[in-house]
Amino acid sequence: MSPEITRLQSLVRARILIVEDELIVAKDLQDGLTAVGYTICGTASTGAVAVRRAQELQPDLILMDIRLRGGMDGIEVARQVRESADVPIVFLTAYADHETLERAASIGPYAYLLKPFDDRELQITITMALCKHRAFAEKYGRLESVAQLSLFALESGDPKAVAARAMEVVTEALGVELAGVLEEQPDGTLALRPELARHFSATDLYFLGTITSLVATTKKRATAEAEARTAYQTAQLAADAVRARDEFLSIASHELRTPVAALKLQIETLRELLAPHAAVVDDRIAQRVERATMSVARLARLVENVLDISRIKLGVLALASDEIDLADVVREVTSRHEDLAKSAGCDLRIATEPVRGTWDRVRIEQVVTNLLANALNFAAGNPIDITVEPVGDDAARLTVRDHGDGIEAHDTARILGRYERASSARSFGGLGLGLYIVGQIVEAHGGSLEVEGGRGVGATFTVTIPRNGRRSA
Residues that bind another protein (CB under 8 A): 250, 254-255, 257-266, 268-269, 272-273, 296, 299-300, 303-304, 307, 311, 316, 320, 336, 362
Shortest distance, position 165 Cβ to another protein, whole Å: 59
Nearest residue (CB) to another protein, 57 versus 292: 292
Query: How far apart are alpha carbons 144 and 142 in whole angstroms?
Result: 5
Choose between 266 and 343: whose C-beta lies nearer to another protein. 266
Give residue 421's region: left, alpha or beta (phi > 0; psi -120 to 50). beta
- Say whether 312 sits in a helix, a strand or coil: helix
Shorter beta-carbon distance to another protein: residue 362 or 425:
362
- The minimum distance between CB 403 and another protein, in angstroms, equals 29
- The dihedrals phi and psi of 398, each to the nearest 5 degrees, come to -120, 130
> In the complex with another protein, which residue's Cβ is closer, 28 or 268?
268
The residue type of 8 is L
Element (H, E) at 462: strand 460-466
Least distance in Å: CB of 298 to another protein? 11
Taking the C-alpha atoms of residue 245 and residue 73, their distance in angstroms, rounded to an integer, is 86
Minimal distance in Å, beta carbon 270 to another protein?
9
The DSSP element (H or E) to which 7 belongs, if any, is helix 3-12
Please tell me the distance from the alpha carbon of residue 269 to that of residue 289, in angstroms, as a whole number.
Answer: 10
Distance of CA 233 to the CA centre of its chain: 12
CA distance 452 to 53: 99
Helix and strand numbers (H, E) in the chain are: 13, 14
55-82: burial string, b at 16+ Cβ within 10 Å, e else? eebebbbbbbbbebeeebbbbbbbbbbb
**Partners of 449 in beta bridges:** 463
Q: Which residue, 100 or 440, is less far from another protein as judged by CB?
A: 440
Nearer to another protein, 73 or 360 (CB): 360
The residue (of 167 and 300) whose beta carbon lies closer to another protein is 300
Q: What one-character DSSP code corresponds to residue 362?
A: H
Nearer to another protein, 259 or 345 (CB): 259
Task: Compute the least distance from the CB of residue 316 to another protein, in Å.
Answer: 8
